[in-house]
Structure 1
């Protein structure tokens, strides 16, 4: 079965056996790391910029997310229950990640969370102060 005509999207037709390279204008920056490792060295500024964008995205996606972590997004998000917020607490259940509002209520899903430029909000933890017991007085006889 044949669809359409002319040059195929992957440019491997019998009439035009050329391959598109990274100099031809890849716009999407979601190239897997395995593929990036296979690419030969280049001096092309466009290709180098694309590789930088791909590596930056891979670094963002590799950030560690822990249960109870407090994160802040650059812009507030509005949810279907009219909650508007930019600061959330991470709730992990296995591989599933949801978020509670900073007030501790609600369970929210943030689409493409790992691709967003969020930051970790440092939390001040107050520890109990433990004083050593004074030595017992010496017994005199």
Structure 2
């Protein structure tokens, strides 16, 4: 499902990196700056679009009372004061691990073995599940404001 253009204006690459950075840094045992650089590089391509589409789908599925415009206003309100506030560290699950491997593949830090696994049918299935799980986390991060 395509997402509204306003979502991309609110949830910019920098905002998404800030929200996912702490989990990436914890999982890879790197500092926050290194995590931000890697995530930013990975999200320059189609991965950001895929993540925003999945996040929008998750947002729509979680609310019954808010329509699209109300949901976008909630995101705007959440991001109004501190848009680059770091997100919470998510517990690492198989879904998160698959997403983090996708990020590493985009950046070029993943091994050839990881690439081969992610190119298999099982790897693609896990990558899709991971993208959905991370999108759910991002949807919570973007709508947990007032």
TM-score bracket for the superposition, by shorter chain length: under 0.3
- Bigger share in helix: 2
Q: Which structure is larger by alpha-carbon Rg, 1 or 2?
A: 1
Q: TM-score, normalised by structure 2?
A: 0.23
TM-score, with structure 1 as normaliser: 0.24
Structure having greater relative contact order (Cα 8 Å, sep ≥ 6): 2
Higher strand share: 1
